[in-house]
């Protein structure tokens, strides 16, 4: 079991809040509301919800303190406030929302000092829950800024930001994964594990071939240029219904001009970079590409095996926390934490390879898998029951994190999940051969 260090958790909460506020620093009150869209939240609501969530679990539930805002639940409880009503709420101004969030953080840090709480497992669990919840919402802020065409956040405020990427220009091809039995998911031997990862269970995977890199812009452009969006035989029934309903002809932020493909990144339009991973494609688009390429998406079990296991004498002796081992991510292994200010070439960062030579399975882009988001056997909802349980069945699993994901959040077993039509996520994919 990990050691409990409440002081470090409190320091991380302060750092997470400074990151969240920095991501919003240049936006005015009007931008912090924005248009009513199904895939974003008003950013004033988003920040208020993060603060409310922290107060609800750390002060009200665990320490039984009274709420700071008498009407806070009616504004910020995501389980009770319908998404499309959030623009109509009497939200606080940007300045008042930031002040509310700071008040909550200060109260948490004042009350959760070691002398008062001691080495409490419950305190560590709920501090981690609040921390990771804020990390996820900070990533969602970048989705919103991209969706609304706002300028890129001021990355000069991000410690350690760097645009170096160690591109190798290799043609990496496929990795052979010999298959076998292994435990899918996480063991309950950590201070905090998300409920949908728990109940690690033994499964058997057949041998397979998986691409060592994510699909690139250049590869996806070939699919588009070959009329991939117009050919019914390449699309699932649901995918074709989505394509017809939306009229999609290419990835959402692409446009063709002067015989070239261009893509929008935040408020800038740049010529498409062939060696970067394709971004902002949904599950239907990834699935159609696979049919065109005579490939398929990996299952989440295949993805986790390719990322996390090292074969020794024909057996899987150790399950790694990260593709490269158990050491934490750094700038040479994974593109996380906003450090590169965007995605890097798919051949970059060879130090982060898995035992099978698969590159960037952590960081750079989230990767769609073939798998529906379902309960693992023996699933029991955690204290925050709305985290996983409402979404089983109609979402798809993504793995691996992206360039805005926090390194403290991600690992080989982390399960992200979105509906298959979502294009706002920093998501791409890698593929498997149809037969090994």
Cβ(323)–Cβ(412) below 8 Å: yes
Round to whole Å and give the CA distance between 390 and 13. Answer: 27
Residue among 329, 355, 333 nearest 344 (CA) = 333
Q: What residues pair up with 427 in beta bridges, in sequence order? A: 366
Mean pLDDT (whole number) for 145-173:
72
Residue 115's pLDDT is what? 47
- Using 50, 70 and 90 to split pLDDT, how confident is the model at 168? low
Q: Residue 30: CB partners within 8 Å, gap ≥ 6?
A: none
Going by their DSSP bridges, the two strands 366-372 and 427-428 should be labelled as: parallel
- Using 50, 70 and 90 to split pLDDT, how confident is the model at 428? very high
Cβ(340)–Cβ(403) below 8 Å: yes
Q: Regarding predicted confidence, which is higher, 317 or 228? A: 228
Residue 117's pLDDT is what? 54
Residue 122's pLDDT is what? 86
Mean pLDDT (whole number) for 112-118:
59
Highest mean pLDDT: which range of 4-13, 113-122, 363-372: 363-372
Q: Regarding predicted confidence, which is higher, 430 or 155? A: 430
Q: Residue 284: CB partners within 8 Å, gap ≥ 6?
A: 235, 236, 238, 239, 242, 243, 420, 421
Mean pLDDT (whole number) for 358-380:
98
Residue 311's pLDDT is what? 72
- Using 50, 70 and 90 to split pLDDT, how confident is the model at 319? confident
> What is the pTM assigned to this prediction?
0.95
Over the chain, what is the mean pLDDT?
93
- Using 50, 70 and 90 to split pLDDT, how confident is the model at 312? low
Q: Residue 195: CB partners within 8 Å, gap ≥ 6?
A: 379, 380, 381, 382, 387, 388
Question: pLDDT digits over 257-290, tens only?
Answer: 999 999 999 999 999 999 999 999 999 999 999 9
Q: Judge whether residue 160 has pLDDT over 50.
A: no
Q: Judge whether residue 371 has pLDDT over 70.
A: yes
CB atoms within 10 A of CB 225: 11
What is the four-CA torsion angle of 66, 85, 80, 74, rounded to 10 degrees? 20
Q: Judge whether residue 163 has pLDDT over 50.
A: no
Residue 141's pLDDT is what? 97
Round to whole Å and give the CA distance between 145 and 152. Answer: 7
- Using 50, 70 and 90 to split pLDDT, how confident is the model at 318? confident
> What domains can you pick out in the chain, each with its CATH number?
6-154 (1.20.120), 158-436 (3.90.1580.10)
Q: Regarding predicted confidence, which is higher, 389 or 120? A: 389
């Amino acid at each position: 079991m990990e050691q409990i260090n409440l002081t470090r958790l409190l320091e991380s909460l302060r750092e997470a809040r400074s990151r969240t506020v920095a991501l919003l620093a240049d936006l005015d009150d009007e931008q912090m509301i924005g248009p009513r869209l199904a895939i974003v939240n008003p950013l004033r609501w988003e920040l208020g919800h993060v603060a409310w969530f922290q107060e609800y679990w750390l002060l009200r539930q665990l320490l039984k303190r009274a709420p700071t805002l008498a009407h806070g639940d009616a504004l910020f409880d995501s389980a009770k406030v319908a998404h499309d009503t959030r623009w109509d709420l009497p939200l606080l101004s940007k300045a008042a929302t930031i002040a509310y969030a700071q008040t909550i953080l200060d109260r948490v840090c004042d009350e959760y000092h070691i002398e008062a709480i001691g080495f409490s497992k419950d305190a560590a669990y709920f501090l981690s829950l609040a921390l990771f919840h804020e990390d996820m919402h900070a990533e969602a802020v970048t989705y919103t800024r991209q969706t609304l065409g706002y300028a890129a956040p001021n990355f000069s405020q991000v410690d350690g930001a760097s645009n170096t990427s160690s591109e190798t220009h290799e043609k990496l091809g496929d990795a052979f994964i010999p298959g076998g039995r292994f435990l899918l998911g996480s063991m309950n031997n950590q201070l905090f594990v998300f409920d949908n990862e728990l109940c690690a269970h033994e499964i058997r995977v057949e041998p397979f071939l998986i691409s060592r890199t994510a699909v690139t812009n250049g590869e996806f452009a070939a699919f588009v240029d070959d009329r991939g969006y117009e050919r019914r035989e390449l699309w699932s029934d649901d995918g074709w219904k989505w394509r017809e309903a939306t009229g999609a002809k290419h990835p959402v932020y692409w446009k063709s001009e002067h015989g070239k493909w261009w893509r929008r990144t935040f408020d800038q339009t740049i010529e498409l970079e062939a060696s970067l991973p394709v971004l902002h494609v949904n599950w239907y688009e990834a699935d159609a590409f696979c049919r065109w390429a005579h490939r398929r998406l990996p299952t989440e079990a295949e993805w986790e095996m390719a990322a996390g296991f090292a074969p020794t004498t024909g057996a899987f002796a150790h399950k790694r926390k990260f593709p490269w081992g158990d050491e934490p991510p750094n700038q040479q292994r994974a593109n996380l934490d906003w450090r590169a200010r965007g995605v890097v070439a798919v051949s970059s960062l060879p130090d982060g390879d898995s035992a099978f030579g698969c590159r960037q399975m952590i960081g750079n882009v989230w990767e769609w898998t073939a798998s529906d988001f379902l309960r693992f056997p023996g699933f029991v909802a955690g204290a925050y029951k709305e985290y996983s349980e409402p979404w089983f069945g109609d979402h798809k699993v993504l793995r691996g994190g992206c360039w805005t994901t926090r390194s403290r959040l991600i690992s080989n077993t982390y399960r992200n999940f979105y509906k298959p039509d979502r294009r706002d996520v920093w998501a791409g994919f890698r593929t498997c051969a149809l037969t090994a």
